[in-house]
Amino acid sequence: MNAEQAVPGFQHRTVLLEEAVDALDIAGARAAGWYVDGTFGRGGHSRRILANLDANGHLLAFDKDMQAIAAAKTIADPRFAIVHGSFAGMREALGERGVGQVQGVLLDLGISSPQVDDAARGFSFRADGPLDMRMDTTRGMSAAEWLAVEDQRTIEKVIRDYGEERYAFQIAKAITARRAIEPISSTRQLAEIVAHAVKTREKGKDPATRTFQAIRIYINKELEELEIGLEAAFQLLAPGGRMAVISFHSLEDRIVKQFMAGKARLPQPDRRLPIRAIDLPQPKLKLLGKAKPSDAEVAANPRARSAVLRVAERLPETGGRA
């Protein structure tokens, strides 16, 4: 595990650093291949990947956060390049570089500690700040702008579906009532609205946690981009190539688990049909297991507690029809 300086006063600890990069198996001939770090953050995983590549290897990283892009530009390595954008566009970005296959893709989902700890970003209810929540502050609608115009039913659905919040109706009703009186423009305002709407609280968890999570996921289209990115990564992987994905909450992990399992599952044909074994569809991925942070890592970085790493390997085409 390592810690890099983010912006002044904010530290970021890369979660499952060794486990995730080791899972890519960057060794031998594979060390000369192309790799993707879909979520650069402050570069912990990228730097470890670069350390494992040989002189002919390449790493293309992605991030939507301009502070992450600034951090990436401090890496003076001709084997490395950064794209300001979502990992959902990795196929297009690699295609522009004449690359059709890669040996590994790493995705570290969610938000980074510098984003959470910087009150000006609006991701956290623990300090007052503008209600922004955009990972890419150069485009799109902020959380405050969205809450000002969206109808109550949609706000309720977002909070319920993306935050798994059972008081979604009460929270959405309270939001629409408050905005009729004054604009909801700060994190403290939203946290106070939620606190008054939620009647019972989970032990050790602020009542605003689920609502902030839901709005952040929705504003940044995180789950939609994850689904696109997983398919893009799968399509790019060369036979034997690996994808390693770190998720931090159940919605993300469910999508990753189901995607990998779906590609690894052997389709069961109708036994009544005369299909030769050679014509049967074959599994496309081999599941290599999952990992969680050690007790020592969680003790040093409590935010790592919910992390789950899942790894899969691209299988070669072996007859059959896709």
Known binding positions: 43-45, 63, 87, 108, 115
How does DSSP classify residue 40? -
> Cα separation of 311 and 246, whole Å?
9
Tally the C-alpha atoms within 13 A of residue 267's C-alpha that lie toward its C-beta: 13
Known binding-site residues for S-adenosyl-L-methionine equal 43-45, 63, 87, 108, 115
Q: 2 by DSSP, 3-state: which?
A: coil
Tell me the DSSP string of 184-223.
--BHHHHHHHHHHH--S--TTS-TTHHHHHHHHHHHTTHH
Longest dimension (CA), the chain: 69
Q: The tokens 């935010």 sit on which residue?
A: 303
User: What is the DSSP track for 235-279?
Assistant: HHEEEEEEEEEEE-SHHHHHHHHHHHHHHHSPP---TTS---GGG
Cα–Cα distance between 123 and 216 in angstroms, integer?
7
Structure tokens belonging to residue 264: 């690894």
Note whether 207 and 195 are within 8 A (CB): yes
